[in-house]
A and B are shown apart, each in its own frame.
Chain A
Amino acid sequence: MTAPLLSVEGLSLTIQGTPILRDVALTLAPGETLGLVGESGSGKSMTALAATGLLPRGARMRGAIRLDGTDLTALPERDWLRIRGADVAMIFQEPTLALNPVHTIGAQVAETLRIRGTPRAQARRIARERLDRVGLAGVPADRYPHELSGGQRQRVCIAMAIACRPRLLIADEPTTALDVTTQARILDLLRDLSRDEGMALLLITHDLGVVADMADRVAVMKDGRIVEDGPTAAVLGAPREEYTRDLLAASRPAPRPARTIAPEPVLEARSVTRRYGGFTAVSDVSLTLHRGESLGLVGESGCGKSTLTRALLGLEPVQDGSVHLMGRPGGTAMTRADRARISVVFQDPYGSFDPRWPIRRIVSEPFHLTGRPPDAEARITTALEQVGLSAADLTKYPHEFSGGQRQRIAIARALVTNPDVVVLDEAVSALDVRVRARVLALLADLQDRLGLAYLFISHDLGVVRALCDRVLVMRGGRIVEAGRTADLFDAPETDYTRELIAATPAIPHERPRRMPHDRPALV
């Protein structure tokens, strides 16, 4: 076995006295890719920051972090400056925030070289070369970050990180903020770079699918500890730990069994078009949702699904076409009584509630449409109990609940008027996988018991498959493909749907490891 490039031994970390990491041990061989997986708060990002010497103030470390055998934990800042960017480079989750808005991309890439004394002209030449290498050959170096797409920005970050040809690249959730097809291309790029330049990659992610695709070895983290590590195939194929098994099970939810849905339309859109000035956000979209059915609406950011949602909820007018709810006028034409028949659950478990309102007031807000019924209190309690909470929670405030509990409260609020249709707008996208699995099970159960119709909007094909009877694929404001879930996944008709399915990172057992193939490099 070759000597490890990076080895972390017995690393414990506290920040302002709060324990963050406990006895973490990792090794990374030259050129190897290690996937570090865990849910939010597991300590995986702090491990990365420790390895770059960029811990926040108030951090106290014990243990050792060795790069080529040199312990970095006690390194003075002066020596760190030589290592950072040159031997160890890092990219982050939000490419939009990670680039300085007031400098050109060329200058930002060249800066990595300039600070090490590379002459200006040479730095500029290498920067151009590195930009070309990450697939930005067509993009001039004097562009500013705001002029690029999200995927292009992440490529700039990668170019910046590899400018000095580091031996270790730490990528902290590098594709989490990106669309699934963009993610696939960025992952391909990282894999190619690692192979071509012999660069080790520490890939931090919450997504086991990404790890399965990318990593030689995987380490699973929970509550600041490594609970399991080993070769990827071994850990994912035969996990030793209960926690890893849970994580795996939650990461690949079983497809929902086929159900027979009686054709009884509750929500219909007929040739709906929504324009903003000269831009057509939704173009000639028709859809029908039946009672008790789950209809998935899938698409990448900017495809028009949010605009369509707002039109269906009656928050925005449409220019052409019409919306119908239970056969009556829908959209902005809905009566107040009809508005109570359709409700919504949003993505963000933190932004969904007024922080100053107690749960009772939050859950009863939809009664504004109907007038407060005499049995309001009983119905609020019922709604809360339906989602697995209790009447004791009524006087609490949102900040007293976890993300998953908050999403349950949002569902309770959506149920309190006994609606026929619930719009689930990325309702499980912000949740950790195990919580997500439980909320998905709750949604399926509520549907069976209450006969609810769901319009399930998501960018994530995996979860759509777990809940939906039928799926619509949206792109550029249009529905490009529609069909029963199983049919659409097994035999997609359009290239776009095929690309979406192929790009979704998958864990083995389901499909063989995805091979990088000839995608256009420019995102």
Chain B
Amino acid sequence: MRRALLTRLLSLILSLVAASVVIFVLLQAVPGDPAAFMLGTGAQPDTVAALRADLGLEGSLPVRYLDWIGGMLRGDFGTSYTYRVPVAELVADRVGVSLPLAAYALILTVVIAVPAGLIAASRRGAAADWGVMGATQLGIAVPNFWFAMLLVLLFAVKLRWVSAGGFPGWSDPRAALGALTLPAIALALPQASILARVLRGALIDTMGQDYIRTARAKGLSQRATIVRHALRNAAIPVLTIMGLQFSFLLAGAIIIENVFFLPGLGRLIFQAITQRDLIVVQSVTMLLVFAVIAVTFAVDLAYALADPRLRRR
């Protein structure tokens, strides 16, 4: 178990290194001189040189890479060229919106998907199953940002229950959660549809296994068999999908923030792109990728808990 954990940790670190190299090369090596890139074509050579010095963009690529990584490890994400403040500060402000939004959406996803998947699998072929399958088929096809617009149209424009966007800050948690509710629903619905279908499929697969027949032969009812024998085995593919979904939710949050004018990482990154603020793009992307890799790692560990066969590998 300990050795397996160490191998996983090593592979986690290797992935992070590889990802950081990819991001760095794309953003700093490919454009040539990043300072010149950020200032655009008409910039004076001395202005470019000044910016280069200002942002610490001097030196060879490997040196700059090591500087960047070293800084990230210390919590120094560089300085934003447009805002003239440390990137870490910008990020700190906005993580408080993006992360709760993704987490809220993930919780909604699970809360919707698990009962739906269970019902569909246990009433296979019945009306409930058809209903769940039809609704999820539609849910998958709906783009989350369009669904978000429809929600705004209905609840903000027609019914006037909520405001159409913006974020009041966490000083008033109820208002903050309220502002995140429509965005979280918009994010969660397509993902919940996917998860419900995966869960249904995994459960049906598991229900076809011999050990389910054994359990039934012992005298367990259909329902008890699902709860005691099928669910935990079906959890394994479901966990994989949930891991992937986290990265979709994070990326999706970037887009949904635009619909609801939420001051999150997504808005930050789009503004940075339009303003060619490479330092911000670089560090924020790295953070997103770090979050995804860390979640994948956590999913790997969760596997081992769900499946004893993996524990002693």
Chain A residues in contact with chain B, CB under 8 A?
52, 54, 77, 81-86, 89-90, 92, 94, 97-103, 111-112, 115-116, 144, 146, 157, 160-161
- Residues of B contacting A160 in the complex (Cβ-Cβ under 8 angstroms): 214, 218
Residues of B264-313 whose CB lies within 8 A of A: 306-309
Min CB distance A170 to B, Å, is: 8
Question: How big is the B interface, by class?
Answer: 20 to 34
The answer to whether the Cβ of B107 comes within 8 Å of any Cβ in the partner chain is no
Residue B217, interface by CB 8 Å: yes
Stretch from B14-22, B50-58, B227-235 contacting the other chain:
B227-235
B218 / chain A contacts, CB cutoff of 8 Å: 84-85, 89, 111-112, 115, 160
Q: Say whether A84 contacts B232, CB under 8 Å.
A: no
Q: Is A85 within 8 A of B219, CB to CB?
A: yes
Contact B309 A82 (CB under 8 A): no
A157 touches B214 (CB 8 A): yes
Complex CA distance for A99 and B233, rounded to whole angstroms: 12
Do residues A116 and B219 form an inter-chain contact, with CB atoms below 8 A? yes
Q: In residues 187-216 of chain B, which contact A (Cβ within 8 Å)? A: 209-211, 213-216
Who on chain A is nearest to B232 by CB? Answer: A102
Chain B contacts for A81, CB-based, 8 A: 219-221
Whether A98 pairs with B233 at a CB distance below 8 angstroms is no
Given A100-B233, A144-B308, A52–B217 Cβ distance below 8 Å?
Answer: yes
Chain A residue contacts of B209, Cβ below 8 A: 97
A111-B228, A116-B219 are contacts. A102–B214 as well, Cβ < 8 Å? Answer: no
B177 to chain A minimum Cβ distance, whole angstroms, is 37
Q: How many A-B residue pairs have CB under 8 A?
A: 71
Which residues in A have their C-beta under 8 angstroms from that of B211? 97-101
Contact status of A144 and B309, CB under 8 A, knowing A100-B211, A102-B233: yes
- Which chain A positions have C-beta within 8 A of B216? 54, 84
Instruction: Supply 18 further A-B pairs (C-beta < 8 A) apart from A54-B217, A111-B218.
Output: A77-B221, A81-B220, A81-B221, A85-B220, A89-B217, A92-B210, A94-B210, A97-B210, A98-B213, A98-B214, A99-B214, A100-B211, A100-B215, A100-B233, A101-B308, A115-B218, A115-B224, A144-B309
In the complex where A101-B309, A102-B306, A146-B309 touch, is A84 in contact with B210 (Cβ < 8 A)?
A: no
When the two chains form their complex, are residues A85 and B306 in contact, meaning their CB atoms are under 8 A apart?
no
Contact B210 A98 (CB under 8 A): yes
B310 to chain A, nearest CB (A): 10
Q: How far is the CA of A98 from the CA of B218 in the complex (A)?
A: 12
Complex CA gap A82/B216 in Å reads 11
Contact, CB under 8 Å: B214 / A146: no
Give the top 6 A-B pairs by smallest Cβ distance, nearest first: A85-B219, A97-B210, A85-B218, A84-B219, A90-B217, A100-B211
CA distance A144 to B310 in the complex (A): 11
Shortest CB distance A78–B (Å): 8
17 sampled A-B residue pairs with Cβ under 8 A: A54-B217, A81-B220, A81-B221, A89-B218, A94-B210, A97-B210, A98-B214, A100-B211, A100-B215, A101-B308, A102-B233, A111-B228, A115-B220, A116-B219, A144-B309, A160-B218, A161-B217
